[in-house]
Amino acid sequence: MRIFIWIPFIFSIFHGYSQDLDIGSLAVLVETGYGSGSGFYLADKSKNSIYFVTAAHVLVDKRNNFYADSVYLISYKKDSQKDQRDSFLIMLELAYKTELFTYDLQKDVAVLKIASTKNRGLAYSSHVTKLTSSNTFLNPFYINMAKKIKEVKTMKDIYTVGYPKSLSLNMNFDYNRPLLRKGVIAGLDLEKGKIVGDMPVYQGNSGGAVFQSDGAFLIGLVSQFVPFEERWINNAYGYTNRNIYNSGYAIIVPVDDIIDEVGRLKEE
């Protein structure tokens, strides 16, 4: 089933404004060879730039090593359930050396420059190789239309869209097509700079955009689920068993941290 939402400020680089944009076309699948995650494109009109944004742990391990020197990005033009994919090869090492890729493992944010926008066209960065021959449509969020954490309010309806490939879905399901999830803002931790969403997420959702349904304002990205821990102890033998479950809550990295990382990138 196709799911549409009015998003007046999100548009394809080649097609102009769209009033019935498929939400799935906002999601980007990132494949590292080690695993996969989700992400999205972010545009900054003031810099004529488009970035790819995801969670840092999707691309970098705890020892600050890239899972792969190169990764693949997959997205869809208009209809994420029917369109042929747009594919890119991203050379992370080159992007990092040229200061066009930055990340913060503690905040769990990674930002990479994809292209510059000129005369409504795209000039891809040197570390980007377009693998598909058809015209590419990027559907970015706009940085000036995002809501920072102090503007976010609890009980607001939110969405995320991504690629939870860890789910045990029917074999007839195409894992390379995005899935939508709806929830609400459950809580805010202004001191730690984190948003809590009442919205189940799973491995593969990491890095996916989270946005409010009223105007589709970007508020952040999926970092991880909040675990529910269960312990039981066998007093007779001293055995302890510990089980971890998905509580149904998710930690959302706010837009504030994404904007900070964008500011660290070198201008081409």
3-state secondary structure 189-245: ECCCCEEEEECCCCCCCCCCEEEECCCCCEEEEEEEEEEEEEEEEECCCCEEEEEEE
Distance CA 254, CA 248 (A): 19
210 contacts 196 by C-beta, under 8 angstroms: no
Q: How far apart are CA 30 and CA 38, in angstroms?
A: 6
At 236 the pLDDT is 81
Q: Which residues pair with residue 31 across a beta bridge?
A: 36, 72
User: 242 phi and psi, to 5 degrees?
Assistant: -130, 120
Domain with CATH 2.40.10.10 in the chain: 11-144, 149-254
Task: Please give the Cα distance from 160 to 26 (Å, whole number).
Answer: 10
pLDDT at position 156 over 50: yes
pLDDT, residue 20, reads 65
CA distances from residue 83 to 104, 137, 243 in whole angstroms, order as listed? 33, 11, 41
Average pLDDT over residues 151-156: 94
Amino acid present at 265: L
CA gap 78, 90 in Å, rounded: 22
Asked if CATH classification 3.90.700.10 holds for the domain at 149-254, the reply, yes or no, is no
Assigned CATH for 11-144: 2.40.10.10
pLDDT tier, 216 (very low <50, low <70, confident <90, very high otherwise): confident
28-31/70-76 β-pairing: antiparallel
Q: What is the reported pLDDT for 167?
A: 73
The string of pLDDT tens digits covering residues 3-55 is 333 333 333 433 333 456 788 899 999 999 889 999 999 999 999 999 999 99
* Alpha helix ranges (H) inside the chain: 56-59, 92-97, 255-264
Residue 114 CA to residue 117 CA, distance in Å, equals 10
How many CB atoms lie under 10 A from the CB of residue 131?
12
- What is the identity of the amino acid at 38? S
For the whole prediction, is pTM greater than 0.85?
yes
In a 13 Å sphere around the CA of 47, the CA atoms on its Cβ side amount to: 19
Tell me, what's the pLDDT at 16?
36
Once rounded to an integer, what is the mean pLDDT over residues 237-252?
85
